[in-house]
Amino acid sequence: MEELTTIELKIPNLGEAESTEIIEINIKPGDTVKLNNPLIVLESEKAAMEVPSDHDGEILEVLVKEGDSVSEGMLFAKIKAKKIASIKKETNRPAPEEPTEPKQTIKKEVIAISGINAGPAVRKYARELEIDLTKINGTGKNLRITKEDLKNYIHSSKEASLDLKTYKESDFSDEGKYSLQKMSKIRILGAKNVQAAWNSIPHVTHFDEINMSKINRAKEKNNANPLAFMIKALSETLKEFPIFNSSLIENDQIVLKEYINIGIAVDTEEGLVVPVIQDADKLSLEEISSKVKELAEKARNKKLLNTNLENRTITVSSLGKLGGTGFTPIINPPDVAIISMSKTYKRLVLAEELDIMPIAMSYDHRVINGADAGRFMVFLKDILDNFND
């Protein structure tokens, strides 16, 4: 007979998040759980994530409740299960050998941008408050931006924000019947992020159309979906135009990334989540398609890990199945661009029926100019129009 002991269950590594909220508890004292059964569901600022059981056993005590804020290492339950020693013995395997070759460090090229005349103190203050100095007119010597200019800008922004204030429940109390619905943490953060992105980034959107006829004929043969073709083509295009695979950072510099990690916007019940396909340029069409399905399923089932959401370099948002003739996506910082895909429609051209898909790319005009955007889209369009299976 196996010897049982009481084991403490603790909150796992949360990645970059310092704390998270418990939005669902799937266990109660007396429940029998199996290995990998979901115990609780955590909702961070990026996604909802299940915490699975590492043991077969009986829940003795649950020490948290829904809505509690927790951090890594906090005790949330106790379980009666096989002794830790015997578990370790069963799972004990020799550690993999360390690679003999030293890891290569990717050198990030940094480009300086001129045009903002401000001192270090003003720049630091603006960074802390996430204020775009390009929107401020300097009144100092040689049009230098002073602390007073910054304060005036903050004051005027606060006054302007009064026109965008949120409404109160009482504003609608006399208008008819209504109900209240609490927004999920993901939706709340998403709303704040898109508002901040829209206010701080000078968006420009470039529109085009893709002839998807060859791709639609080849997608079954290649065991891939249209989004996979876009990600594959986008990976190749980013290698030719690395400025689109960059981020604008402090001290007016651009980091050109030598890795290509493409985020895909996934609609879930809790809100929009953006899992990331790591090293997309190194994957085949079939591998990309499999990753898209896997990550979308994980997002909708609250099984994403923090590692599934990190290190994105650009984002693709597709509304292909939901209709619409086009839309202008909002950039997802620290990206400098985002691609949108809309529903494919039929067009008759010289007696030939073509499958046409509208696409758009919003880009950060502080980093990318219109000519570069035009060349980028021509290159991307050429790959997709002329796909050769």
- The string of pLDDT tens digits covering residues 260-302 is 999 999 998 888 899 999 999 999 999 999 999 999 999 999 8
Digits of tens for pLDDT over the chain (389 positions)? 567 899 999 999 877 677 888 888 989 999 999 988 889 988 766 677 888 999 999 999 999 998 888 999 999 999 998 765 444 434 444 444 444 444 444 344 444 334 577 765 677 667 767 788 888 888 877 777 887 788 777 766 654 454 445 678 887 877 788 888 888 888 888 888 888 888 889 999 999 999 999 998 888 777 788 899 999 999 999 999 999 999 998 778 999 999 999 999 999 888 889 999 999 999 999 999 999 999 999 999 989 988 899 999 999 999 877 778 899 999 999 999 999 999 998 888 887 899 999 999 999 999 999 999 999 999 999 999 998 76
pLDDT confidence of residue 131? 82
Q: Across the beta sheet with 253-256, what order do the strands follow?
A: 109-112, 253-256, 246-249
3.40.605.10, 2.40.10.480, 2.130.10.10, 4.10.320.10: CATH of 109-155: 4.10.320.10
- CATH 2.40.50.100 residue ranges for the chain: 4-91
Strand 314-318 relative to strand 337-341: parallel, antiparallel, unpaired?
Answer: parallel
- CATH 4.10.320.10 residue ranges for the chain: 109-155
Coil, helix or strand at residue 194: helix
Rounded Cα–Cα distance for residues 342 and 356 (Å): 10
Tokens of 46: 């990026």
pLDDT confidence of residue 207? 96
CA neighbor of 312 nearest in space, from 368, 352, 264: 264
Rounded Cα–Cα distance for residues 81 and 5 (Å): 6
Question: In this predicted model, what pLDDT tens digit does every residue of 301-348 receive, in sequence order?
Answer: 989 988 899 999 999 999 877 778 899 999 999 999 999 999 998 888
Instruction: Please report, as a single letter, which amino acid is at residue 184.
Output: S
Rounded Cα–Cα distance for residues 133 and 117 (Å): 9
CA neighbor of 361 nearest in space, from 268, 214, 241: 241
Question: So what CATH class is 204-385?
Answer: alpha beta
Angle subtended at Cα 99 by Cα 95 and Cα 100, rounded to the nearest 5 degrees: 130
Catalytic residues: 365
Residue 80 burial class via C-beta count within 10 angstroms: exposed 0-12, middle 13-18, buried 19 and up:
middle
Rounded Cα–Cα distance for residues 266 and 277 (Å): 12
Contact 262, 314 (CB under 8 A): yes
- CATH 3.30.559.10 residue ranges for the chain: 204-385
Chain centre to alpha carbon of residue 109: 24
pLDDT confidence of residue 10? 93
Contact 148, 121 (CB under 8 A): no
Fold for 4-91, please state it. OB fold (Dihydrolipoamide Acetyltransferase, E2P) (2.40.50)
pTM, whole model, 2 decimals? 0.66
pLDDT confidence of residue 89? 38
Q: Name the helix (H) or strand (E) containing 287.
A: helix 285-300
Contact 286, 338 (CB under 8 A): no
Contact 313, 252 (CB under 8 A): no
